[in-house]
Amino acid sequence: MVKILLDPSMYHPQLSVADEVRKAHELGYRYLELSPRADFHEWHHYPKVDRHQIAEVKRAMDETGVRIWTFNPVFNWSSPDEQERQAQVRNWKRLLELADALEVPLIATELSGDPNQPLASEHQFYRSIEELIPVFERYGMECTVEAHPYDFVETNDRAVQIVHGVDRDWFNYEFCFPHAFHLSDGTGDIRGMLDYAGDRLRHLHIADVFNHRANVGNRYIVNPPGVDARVHQHNEIGNGEIDWDDAFAALREREYDGPVSVCVFGWEEEADAIHRRMRERILAELGGE
């Protein structure tokens, strides 16, 4: 049975982490995926949270029964710049201390690095993971990684290969549906990508997206032409071009029972309603808690 996690990104500007735990409970969620925010773990920055904040979050979890199941940090541990890489490994070590303090069992993260220096970034990634393997194993923590637009790896199959290269039972792959067209260079072959991941598939991010390759690349117009950027969205199911009937059927066929994170961004004016509808759809398709 899947665990349905709320990514509270749309509440970050208004709520503390403790209040996001309470918001999850209000919306019917039992689990939270804590995405980057400035007062906890921010993109590429050292975590800015102290023991008093940790205690406040613990109180909120005790009050509601909601558990933070994953942290979703973004640290540039694959940076070709060695000084930067070392700083990011330091960030990782602090984050894992915080995860242990809150009894968070899973870290869901990105490969980061520089897509314009993919080989140098790959070298740096493996250097970082070698340094962090003992830390993960000391805490008994699991990790999933995704290929993200503008990481040094941006496609599904290559990211799965990177995971195989680490060769640890606790280090696996996360498939992010709103990145599906980037992961497949526009084909959107969900079944093929899930099949390639095989038993390394241990986490899902659920949101809809339009195909940036559609209409000869004119689904979005980015100026100036050829700018070094990646465009995508995290929309509610139905507000995009993923074939959800087939995607959910594929997950049922493979009896997927791992965590599923609802990660819709950019629709704050409808956040509560969207999160309730997303949870109801996942429950109807996959069951869960």
Residue 210 confidence class, pLDDT cut points 50, 70, 90: confident
Single-letter code of the amino acid located at 94: R
Q: What is the mean pLDDT of the chain?
A: 94
Residue 31 has pLDDT above 60, yes or no: yes
pLDDT of residue 65: 98
∠ CA 244-250-180, nearest 5°, is 55
Residue 218 has pLDDT above 90, yes or no: no
Residue 252 confidence class, pLDDT cut points 50, 70, 90: very high
The fold of 3-286 is TIM Barrel (3.20.20)
pLDDT of residue 58: 98
Rounded Cα gap, residues 183 and 155, in angstroms: 4
pLDDT of residue 214: 52
- 42-88 confidence digits (pLDDT tens): 999 999 999 999 999 999 999 999 999 999 999 999 999 999 999 99
- The mean per-residue pLDDT over the stretch 178-206 comes to 92
pTM greater than 0.75: yes
Give percent helix, percent strand, percent coil of the chain, each to the nearest 5.
45, 15, 40
Phi, psi of 109 (to 5 degrees): -140, -175
Q: Find all residues with CB under 8 Å of 17, minimum gap 6, and list them.
A: 34, 37, 39, 40, 53, 56, 57, 60
The residue extents of the domains of the chain are 3-286
The H or E element that residue 131 is part of is: helix 118-139
Residue 213 has pLDDT above 60, yes or no: no
Residue 222 has pLDDT above 80, yes or no: no
CA nearest neighbour of 232 among 274, 196, 266, 262: 266
- 90-133 confidence digits (pLDDT tens): 999 999 999 999 999 999 999 999 999 999 999 999 999 999 99
